[in-house]
Amino acid sequence: MTPEWVIAAIKIFFIFFVNLAFFTPVLGWIERKQSAIIQDRIGANRAAILGFKVYGLVHSLTDALKTLMKEDFVPTGAHKFFHTLAPFISLTAAMTSFAVIPFGGSYIVYGEKVNLVIADIDWGILFIFGFGSLATYGAVLAGWSSNNNWSLLGGMRASAQMLSYEVAMGLSLIGVMMVYGSLRLTDIALMQKDFFHWGIFLQPLGFVLFLVCAVAENKRAPFDAPEAESELVAGYFTEYSSMKFVMFWMGEFIEMVTISGILTTIFLGAWHIPFVSDAMLLGWFSFAGADVAAMLAIAVNVMTFYSKIMFCIWFLMTIRWTLPRFRYDQIMRLGWKGLLPLSLLNILITGGIMLIIKGVS
């Protein structure tokens, strides 16, 4: 019998490798190339190793090496401890939230039950909100501790914006909890085996509200006022360099992966393929034996899950390079006067429909 801690360690390593070691450098390249295509440019294509340019992918490696060799500068008058702590908070909050997101179902492989989720807890959605909100402290501490006016303004904008949109984002998922009757993400994912039971069909308004709030929480354009280059140099991380700057950058991309994972799990059917059940997959691969069939089904489901994540990332990046930045007052007005009332309306409509259906049945 394989110890449970070994299986847990394998899952943690997989998530760490895919999200941190793969997605972080590759997403930097994807963003540069996608922006180039949208703007009718070529994009990164010069850096090469032994003459191989790999369509500009070498730039991610050279940029990482260049950044690592830069000086770790702490400005005069800055609070050194909090200046160092801030990027760690932002990165840790983004990475930890993925622990409760299931990237596959439950399988029996060589007599062992394998659940493709690191922490299958009853209050998974609350866990995401709890750790996701910690990223606010990273931005605020970075702005305050840098002893820089532009950084301070960026930190203030980040705190007001992130705290404001957390309210509407939390309320946007209340309808999902009402429909599926659970806070456990694995339960919500399992209830979407039927294509027409996907969250995007049962909660279309909730999907749109959560998507907008998530983009604002990640401080990506058009909600990038906390780091507006044309106004605040680089906002709350103006005074950061070397690895600390990279950690903020990594946190932003990993948070984008986490947001895509949440969207996939709650609204896009998780690892399920439309009109194809896990039992059908196991039946197709049954010629290879039960254990190999389970492993092949795991591979297909994991690839399906991450394919949906890549689609969500592409969509988020398309938004990033399509819409102009909102003014700060427009951002706050949209959050409090637009999304918050709509999220409350979504709860009211969901409750009304559920009562009607219950009365009819």
- Alpha helices in 173-232, H assignment, sequence order: 174-180, 185-190, 199-202, 204-217, 229-232
Confidence of residue 213 (pLDDT cuts 50, 70, 90): very high
Q: Which residues contact 27 (CB under 8 A, 6 or more apart)?
A: 253, 256, 257, 313
Average pLDDT over residues 280-308: 87
Task: Identify the DSSP state of 52.
Answer: B
Are 281 and 314 in contact by the 8 Å Cβ rule? The answer is no
Write down the mean pLDDT value for the chain: 86
**What is d(CA 20, CA 62) in angstroms, rounded to the nearest whole number?**
17
- pTM given for the model: 0.90
pLDDT tens, 136-183?
888 888 888 888 888 888 888 888 888 889 899 999 999 999 999 999
In the chain, domain spans:
71-360
pLDDT tens, 80-94?
888 888 888 888 888
CA-closest candidate to residue 226, choices 278, 325, 155: 155
User: Three-state SS for 140?
Assistant: helix
Of 104-113, 119-128, 202-211, the poorest mean pLDDT is in 104-113
* pLDDT computed for residue 288 by the predictor: 80
pLDDT tens, 248-279?
888 888 888 889 999 999 999 999 999 888 78
* pLDDT computed for residue 260 by the predictor: 93
pLDDT tens, 298-353?
889 989 999 999 999 999 988 888 888 888 899 999 999 999 999 999 999 999 99
Average pLDDT over residues 12-28: 73
Report the amino acid identity of residue 238. Answer: T
To the nearest whole percent, how much of the chain has pLDDT over 90? Answer: 26
* pLDDT computed for residue 253 by the predictor: 85
Are 256 and 220 in contact by the 8 Å Cβ rule? The answer is yes
* pLDDT computed for residue 267 by the predictor: 95
Q: C-alpha distances in angstroms, 101 versus 15, 172, 299, 314?
A: 10, 18, 17, 20
Average pLDDT over residues 207-235: 86
Helix (H) or strand (E) holding 113: strand 112-115
* pLDDT computed for residue 7 by the predictor: 67
Residue 184 has pLDDT above 70, yes or no: yes
CA 183 to the chain's CA centroid: 18
**What is d(CA 186, CA 273) in angstroms, rounded to the nearest whole number?**
16
Confidence of residue 361 (pLDDT cuts 50, 70, 90): low
Q: Which residues contact 80 (CB under 8 A, 6 or more apart)?
A: 74
Confidence of residue 189 (pLDDT cuts 50, 70, 90): very high
Residue 186 has pLDDT above 80, yes or no: yes
